[in-house]
Amino acid sequence: MISLGIPGILQKTCPKKHTSKNKGTRHFMHATQTISLYQGPAAWGTPNASPFCTKLLCFLNAAKLPYEICNFDPIKAPKGKMPYIRYQGQYLGDSQLIIRFLSQEFHVHMDSHLTDQQKAIGHTCRRMLEDGTYFQILWSRWGIDANWAVVKKAYFASLPPVVRTILPEILRKAVKRSAFGQGVARHSFEELETMLDEDMSALSNLMSKSGPYFHGNQISEVDCTLYAFLSSLLCAPLPVPFGEKWKSHRPFKDYIHHMESTYFLKLK
């Protein structure tokens, strides 16, 4: 178990139907085609506490697919992680596998305008964020005591008092153990800041200068991951800030603003 988010089985059930009304593309509205998206709660003005859930939400909104939001249940989650979906009676886990599946099912071609090199760069950046930067962000939330106090409140505030006191510490122990196994917990905060700087500056250098998206004037899959991770990293109000200098980095600020105003109109 290793997680930025909170086990959603402990949250209230609040299914909400969503159908994107963004301009221009096809709208699929058959009842049997509604996708049930299982995820944890939103936090700090971002679409979700988990960047993987935000990534999938971004994809669904950008592709204008009909979906409803349901509470994460670790027992039903095919991979024990959030997000997962239920579609025509089948459960499917892992944000990227879900995107692959839905792209095929609904004929979404988000990367079709890209060159092979752009696709390769997008893929590499996505991998870096999801399999590298993710663990740095995770450790900044669960590993640093002062930040944990704020994170705990945001993730677990709605639980009944006794559970709220005991459960977060049990989960934190498990997350810390996993983070040690993964390796991120073996680095000092300064070392992690340096690694994060290298990731952020690579992204900043690779981002298009001639359009609001990573690859220019049209959204592609990497934007779903990039927006999810930048908002997760830069919008969390932690007492020991991680990646502080990137909060005022103009290209990232503009990027987040563009993605939110285009795909997440109801935020904040």
Ligand X SMILES: N[C@@H](CCC(=O)N[C@@H](CS)C(=O)NCC(=O)O)C(=O)O
Contact between 94 and ligand X per CB under 6 A = yes
Contact 104, 52 (CB under 8 A): no
Site stretch for ligand X (CB under 6 A), options 2-10, 149-157, 213-221, 236-244: 2-10
Site stretch for ligand X (CB under 6 A), options 74-82, 102-110, 182-190, 244-252: 74-82
Contact between 2 and ligand X per CB under 6 A = yes
Give the rounded distance of the alpha carbon of 92 from its chain centre: 17
Name the phi and psi angles at 158, rounded to 5: -85, 0
DSSP 174-217: HHHHHHHHHSGGGS-HHHHHHHHHHHHHHHHHHS-SSSSBTTBS
Contact between 63 and ligand X per CB under 6 A = no
Minimal distance in Å, beta carbon 52 to ligand X?
Answer: 4
The residues in 187-216 that bind ligand X, with binding defined as CB under 6 A, are none
Pick 82 or 196: Cβ nearer ligand X: 82
Contact between 140 and ligand X per CB under 6 A = no
Contact between 81 and ligand X per CB under 6 A = yes
Minimal distance in Å, beta carbon 201 to ligand X?
Answer: 24
Site stretch for ligand X (CB under 6 A), options 91-99, 196-204, 245-253, 258-266: 91-99
Pick 45 or 80: Cβ nearer ligand X: 80
Pick 94 or 199: Cβ nearer ligand X: 94
- The two structure tokens encoding residue 63: 């592709």
Contact 7, 72 (CB under 8 A): yes
List Cβ neighbours of 228 (8 Å cut-off, separation of 6 or more): 47, 51, 52, 53, 54, 55, 58
Pick 52 or 148: Cβ nearer ligand X: 52
Amino acid identity of residue 16, one-letter, is K
Contact between 234 and ligand X per CB under 6 A = no
- Expressed in angstroms, the distance from the first to the final Cα of the chain is 30
Pick 137 or 212: Cβ nearer ligand X: 137
Q: How far apart are CA 93 and CA 91, in angstroms?
A: 7
List Cβ neighbours of 91 (8 Å cut-off, separation of 6 or more): 76, 77, 78, 84, 85
Q: Which of 11, 36, 96, 118 binds ligand X (CB under 6 A)?
A: 96
Minimal distance in Å, beta carbon 181 to ligand X?
Answer: 12
Contact between 54 and ligand X per CB under 6 A = no
Q: Which of 37, 41, 52, 155 binds ligand X (CB under 6 A)?
A: 52
Contact between 11 and ligand X per CB under 6 A = no
List Cβ neighbours of 80 (8 Å cut-off, separation of 6 or more): 1, 74, 93
Give 135's Cβ-side CA count (13 Å radius).
Answer: 21
What does the binding site for ligand X look like in residue numbers (CB under 6 A)?
Answer: 1-5, 50, 52, 80-83, 94-96
